Amino acid sequence: MTLMIEIQDLLYSYPDGTIALDSVDLHIGKGEFVVIAGRNGSGKSSLVRHMNALLLPSGGCVSVNRLCTLQKKNHPDIRKAIGMVFQGPDSQFIGMTVEEDVAFGPENLGLPPLRIRELVEISLEMMGISELRFHSPRSLSGGQKQKVAIAGVLAMEPGCIVFDEVTSMLDPFSRKDVLDAVKRIHAKGTTVIYVTHRLEETINADRLVIMDSGKVVADASPRDVFLQHDLEMYGIELPPVVALSRMLTRAGFPGIGIALTKDELLEALCP
């Protein structure tokens, strides 16, 4: 697998002296779907902000497509390669209409007008919001705003998109909608890094990375992380199905192990 993001021995302390990241090693390959989870303040946002040079290492190094973030001349290429979507996108809107807003990124990249129209079209379609194109982004609901923000990043065609808690303010249906869109984006070949508190959103991921006190404390497939780690210790709630399958296994039910989905659990209970 081709490496996209290489993080080696990363240390980061904020200007006030808070050490947010300590000896972090993480390698992310092209096309992976990596979930990063951990309690509040564990360093998730500080970590992902290093991936497009919004933060620069105090120690160690971060490279994207072999370009080191410490060299300023690399920043335009790095920021083109890694798109970022944050929670509560209000402050990120620039255009008067959804369409203008989504066009802003590709315009900034200096693409020809026809190509921009095409990219806007594809991105709105991908997020299922084509009918909102003439609305003002500010007049939309939280879930719709989040989709516009994602469409804006998609339109720049980054090889990798980082989603930092993009569903945390959404109701269960909008959350599923946005998560489905993220899965579609990944299925088209984009590398996805998805930060969340909700582990039930991680089931489809190739990898689950757990952060605690600025360190990576687990990095494996979701099933292996659930099997090998006591996540409550890191302030993380297990997805209900996983918690139930673990309780059943401990109570002596044979053949369940760790079920990741309701269907898996049902299959294990009534084969």
Ligand X SMILES: Nc1ncnc2c1ncn2[C@@H]1O[C@H](COP(=O)(O)OP(=O)(O)OP(=O)(O)O)[C@@H](O)[C@H]1O
Does residue number 42 form part of the binding site for Mg ion (CB under 5 A)? Answer: no
- Read off the tokens for 14: 């904020």
Closest CA to 135 of 97, 91, 95: 97
Does residue number 50 form part of the binding site for ligand X (CB under 6 A)? Answer: no
- Binding-site partner at residue 38 among ligand X, Mg ion, none, CB < 5 to 8 Å by type: ligand X
Does residue number 20 form part of the binding site for ligand X (CB under 6 A)? Answer: yes
Query: Which burial class, exposed, middle or buried, applies to 30 when counting CB atoms under 10 A from its CB (0-12, 13-18, 19+)?
Result: middle
Q: Which helix H or strand E contains 217, and what residues bound it?
A: strand 215-220
Does residue number 167 form part of the binding site for ligand X (CB under 6 A)? Answer: no
3-state helix, strand, coil in the chain (%, to 5): 40, 25, 35
Least Å from the CB of residue 22 to ligand X: 11
Closest CA to 200 of 267, 260, 246, 269: 260
**Cβ neighbours of 180 (radius 10 Å):** 11
Q: Which is nearer to ligand X, 38 or 57 (CB)?
A: 38
Please select the residue that binds Mg ion; options are 42, 45, 52, 146, rule is CB under 5 A. Answer: 45
Q: Give yes or no for a contact between 158 and 83, defined as CB atoms under 8 angstroms apart.
A: yes
Q: Which is nearer to ligand X, 47 or 102 (CB)?
A: 47
Does residue number 43 form part of the binding site for ligand X (CB under 6 A)? Answer: yes
Does residue number 52 form part of the binding site for ligand X (CB under 6 A)? Answer: no
Q: How far apart are CA 62 and CA 68, in angstroms?
A: 6
Does residue number 16 form part of the binding site for ligand X (CB under 6 A)? Answer: yes
Which range touches ligand X (CB under 6 A), out of 11-19, 26-34, 88-96, 114-122? 11-19
Does residue number 23 form part of the binding site for ligand X (CB under 6 A)? Answer: no
- Read off the tokens for 95: 């255009």
Does residue number 18 form part of the binding site for ligand X (CB under 6 A)? Answer: yes
Which range touches Mg ion (CB under 5 A), out of 8-16, 44-52, 134-142, 171-179? 44-52
Site residues for Mg ion per CB under 5 A: 44-45
